[in-house]
Amino acid sequence: MQTYQLTVNGESHTTTSEPDKPLLWILRDQLKLKGTKYGCGIAQCGACTVHINGAAVRSCVLPISGVSGPITTIEGLAKNGLLHPLQSAWIEHDVPQCGYCQAGQIMSAAAMLAVNPRPTDADIDTAMAGNYCRVVLMFVFGARFIQLQEAIVLKGRLKHE
Amino acid sequence: MNNVLTRRHFLKASALTSGGLMLEITLSGAALGEALGTLVGSKELNAWVQISSSGEITIYSSVPEMGQGIKTALPMIIAEEMGASWDDVTVLTADVDSARYGLQGAGGSTSIPRNFDSMRTMGASAREMLIGAASEALEVDRAELEAKDSQVIHLSGERLSFGALAALAVRQPVPDPATLSFKDPKAYTIIGTAVGGVDNLGIVLGQSKFGIDVDVPNMRYAAYARCPRLGGTAISFNEQAIRALPGVLDAFILAPDARTGQSSMSFLDGLAALQGGVAIVGEDTWSVLNAKSQLLVVWDESEASTDSWPEMKIEAQRLAGMSGGEVKRDHPVEAALAEPNNKVLEAFYEFPYVAHVCMEPMNCTVHYTAGTTSTAARMEVWVPSQFPGTG
């Protein structure tokens, strides 16, 4: 067991863990941040996506010893009581179905938009290709993000694959 | 606590006469007074609807939500019929309680047709109780009142909010369902509109609770490795190595349900029956998943099923080559086949034997509290399920 210092959603945490325990289980079982989901455990479905230093990573395969930088989870995406524009867009366009994969979908999309505010359809397809939805809500492949002045509006193009 | 139990017994008693849908005041004397007192306290109009004195309307959704939107759709029907404003409605998932809610399951895309009439009956009975309350409060004929926008409005323009009427409404007699009338669909203001899923905000904030998110203080975690063949049993496993892994507290073999494979076991019991395997208990999810990945089990498959997909395909091909029996005959097929201008297409279709994949990885949380001399043992179960209550 080793001691690790983590910054999660702006808060400092000290935790002890085996070095190879994936970050996902530190978040879910130790810090009780249940918004990040366990799907496949082998980085194939994207449900466990969080940000480290702003980049999207699959927390189910990232050992705690490999974490270097501040972590943001779905619980930390809204700031100062304000929803992230993607969260507002998700509600406005009634995107979620069962919702299980949505934290991962939103975190992947937010990481992409942070570095690429005007993505093309191809950019979106690439960024979202690793996020799957069980209830065939394959909106990610057809989703289009359009930046209008300050607001980012997601134009949901629902596509049943 | 006694009041809660009384209320439940009271509701259960009425459910017997009305299919679990209507709350009917059929008790008398002291029992009635006690039940009514409880109802007034909870401002509960029926098993589905509560109205607080400040006007918040709580509607319980009794059918499991799996992404199909039923947690939003069924309460819309109630809110529509009772004249509520959708903005005042909070939807909560109902407990599993078949005495109150009847069948609690979803399947075959039937939840709306199966529940539409009972939902609007709930809404209409709540509406009539609110109108009855307003009729009493304003001393006017109930025919001069209508429920709209979470208010009961009199012809004169005088109006009372549902919240103001809540305490009085629960004292009203529950209407006989046969006397209820329903809104003309042309007058609908909620049904047919896009209102958005009631859980959307919770989902995008990562706050929506799924089965796997249940957390009980000091809980332990378990993973179970089943025999890959149905009906097999575990003989031994690398127990010492597994027990030495970090976070592992216990590891042991479980025998399959003794009825497995017997014709006395129903299909549904068979689906739910325990399969033989190895259980690992640990401090957190990762400890047991990690240990499970390192399990080496010696299986006894001598009594196990030998079904295999390749063999099923071969058997299907063989059967397809034999002459079939006649199931249905609507038109003269022979004549159509003999017609030279018609084209005959031949194909062999097969469909893979695939599992009905779950919304979230299979999981279940159980909290067992041992009994004492004065209380019964209690087991609380949380499970993401399509059929939590069979009614």
The domain segmentation of chain B, as residue ranges, is 2-204, 211-305
Residues A19 and A60 in one domain: yes
Q: Is A18's CB within 8 Å of B246's CB? A: yes
A70 and A90 in a single domain? The answer is no
Q: Which of A77, A94, A135 sits opposite B200 (nearest CB)?
A: A94
Compute the average pLDDT of residues A59-85: 94
d(CA A20, CA A36): 19
Spatial neighbors of A100 by CB under 8 A, at least 6 apart, are A37, A39, A47, A134, B210, B359, B360
Query: Are both A91 and A58 inside the same structural domain?
Result: no
Enter the pTM of the model: 0.83
Does residue A23 register a pLDDT over 50? Answer: yes
Residue A28 located in a structural domain: yes
pLDDT (0 to 100) of residue A136: 58
Q: Cβ neighbours of residue B385 under 8 Å, at least 6 residues apart?
A: B64, B211
Residues found in chain A: 161
Return the residue of A nearest to B195 by Cα: A94
Contact residues for B174 (Cβ-Cβ < 8 A; gap 6+): B22, B23, B24, B25, B46, B125, B129
| Residues of chain B positioned with their CB less than 8 A from the CB of A38 | 212, 285, 361
Of residues B166, B157, B76, B83, the one with CA closest to residue B119: B76
Does a structural domain hold residue A161?
no
Centroid of chain to Cα A6 = 18
Q: Return the higher-pLDDT residue of B30 and B71.
A: B71
pLDDT in tens, B256-288: 888 776 777 777 777 778 899 999 999 999 999
DSSP string for B149-189: TTEEEETTS-EEEHHHHHHHHTTSPPPPGGG-----GGG-S
Q: Does the distance separating the beta carbons of B213 and A99 come in below 8 Å? A: no
Residue B324 confidence (pLDDT): 81
Determine the Cα–Cα distance for residues A106 and A140; give it in Å rounded to an integer: 10
Residues of B with CB under 8 A from a CB of A: 65-69, 194, 196-197, 199-210, 212-213, 215, 221, 246-247, 284-286, 289, 357-361
Provide the token pair at B253. Answer: 């073999």
> Shortest CA distance to A158 belongs to which of A129, A128, A137, A132?
A137
**How many domains would you assign to chain A?**
2
In this predicted structure, the answer to whether residue B32 has a pLDDT above a threshold of 80 is no
- The 10s digit of each residue's pLDDT in B102-118 is 788 888 889 999 989 98
Average pLDDT, chain B: 84
- My answer on whether A63 and A113 are in the same domain is no
Strands (E), A9-155: 11-17, 49-52, 55-58, 71-72, 144-148, 151-155
Q: Among A76, A107, A127, which residue terminates a domain?
A: A76
Mark whether A6 and A68 lie in a shared domain.
yes
Residue-range definition of the domain harbouring residue A17: 2-76
Class of domain B2-204: alpha beta
Number of Cβ atoms within 10 Å of the Cβ of A7:
13
- The domain B211-305 having CATH identifier 2.30.110.10: the answer here is no
The shortest CB-CB distance from A91 to any of B200, B208, B357 is to: B200
If one compares A124 and B378, the residue with the highest pLDDT of the two is: B378
Higher pLDDT: B357 or B228? It is B228
- Measure CB to CB from residue A25 to each of B196, B208, B286 and give the nearest one: B286
Query: Which among A18, A32, A98 has CB closest to B67?
Result: A98
Tell me the Ramachandran region of residue B20: left when phi exceeds 0, alpha when psi lies from -120 to 50, beta otherwise. Answer: left
Q: Using a CB-CB distance cutoff of 8 angstroms, which residues of chain A are in contact with residue B208?
A: 99
CATH of residue A151: 1.10.150.120
> Are A141 and A90 members of one domain?
yes
How close does chain B come to A135, measured CA to CA in Å?
Answer: 7
> pLDDT per residue over B217-233, tens digit each?
999 999 999 999 888 99
Residues A8, A69, single domain; the answer is yes
Given this model, what pLDDT does residue B210 score? Answer: 94
Q: Which residues contact B103 (CB under 8 A, 6 or more apart)?
A: B114, B389, B390, B391
**A48 lies in the same domain as A71:** yes
DSSP symbol at B255 = P
- Contact list, A25 vs chain B (CB under 8 Å): 284-286
pLDDT over 60 (residue A121): yes
Is residue A112, in this structure, part of any structural domain at all? yes
B215 and A37 within 8 Å at the Cβ level: the answer is no
Q: Would A21 be classed as within a structural domain?
A: yes
* Residue A147 covered by a domain: yes
Q: For residue A135, list chain B residues with Cβ-Cβ distance below 8 A.
A: 66-67, 359
In this structure, the answer to whether residues A147 and A109 fall within a common structural domain is: yes
Residue of A36, A42, A97 to mutate when probing chain B, most B C-beta within 10 A: A97
Q: Which residue of A has its CA nearest to B72?
A: A97
**Lowest pLDDT segment from A41-45, A121-125, B148-152, B234-238:** A121-125
- Quote the DSSP letter at residue B76: H
Per-residue pLDDT reduced to its tens digit, B333-356: 888 888 999 998 988 888 877 777
Same domain, A108 and A136: yes
* Residue A9 sits in the same domain as residue A52: yes
- What is the reported pLDDT for B43? 54
Give me the mean pLDDT over the A36-46 stretch.
96
A99 with A142, same domain: the answer is yes
pLDDT of residue A50: 98
ipTM over 0.85: yes
How large is the average pLDDT for residues B137-153? 97
Query: What residues in A contact B361, CB-CB < 8 Å?
Result: 38-39
b/e code B120-137 from CB counts within 10 Å (16+ = b): bbbbbbbbbbbbbbbbee
